[in-house]
């Protein structure tokens, strides 16, 4: 799950113009592993995952209707690592 929040910059004892997250939630990207291809023919399931996008104003609805159009293009560089950008999680490789 990837939680996206609005960002802000400020001057801190660590430096000027330092970026930080704020309390304003933007959206959640969610992937659920599906090794059995249980929902073939469903446009938000495929390539080993269920793919979803949730917006704060309606958390009960998947705002994405087609993972091939909405997600896969951007995740192609991570195809060799099962579509996940594993370099962002170095502790998992230790």
- What whole-number distance in Å separates Cα of residue 30 and Cα of residue 64? 11
Does 51 sit near ligand HEC (CB under 6 A)? yes
Cβ contact 9:18 at 8 Å: yes
Cβ atoms of 5 and 25 within 8 Å: the answer is: yes
Contact residue for ligand HEC among 9, 85, 91, 93 (CB under 6 A): 85
Tokens for 29, please give them: 């990207």
CA 2 remoteness from chain centre: 4
- The residue assigned the tokens 């104003």 is 57
Among 17, 23, 88, 90, binds ligand HEC (CB under 6 A): 88
Residue 71 is a binding residue for ligand HEC (CB under 6 A): yes
The reply on whether position 52 binds ligand HEC by CB under 6 A is: yes
Choices 6-14, 18-26, 35-43, 73-81 (CB under 6 A): range interacting with ligand HEC? 73-81
Under the rule (CB under 6 A), what is the footprint of ligand HEC?
Answer: 1-2, 29-31, 51-53, 64, 67, 70-71, 74-75, 78, 84-85, 88
């Amino acid at each position: 799950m990837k939680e996206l929040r609005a960002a802000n910059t400020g001057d801190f004892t660590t430096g000027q113009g330092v970026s930080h997250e704020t309390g304003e939630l933007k959206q959640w990207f969610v992937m659920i592993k599906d090794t059995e291809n249980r929902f073939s023919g469903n446009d938000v399931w495929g390539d080993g995952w269920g793919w979803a996008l949730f917006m704060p104003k309606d958390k009960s609805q998947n705002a994405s209707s087609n993972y091939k159009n909405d997600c896969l293009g951007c995740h192609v560089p991570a195809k060799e690592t099962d579509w996940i950008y594993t370099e962002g999680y170095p502790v998992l490789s230790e």
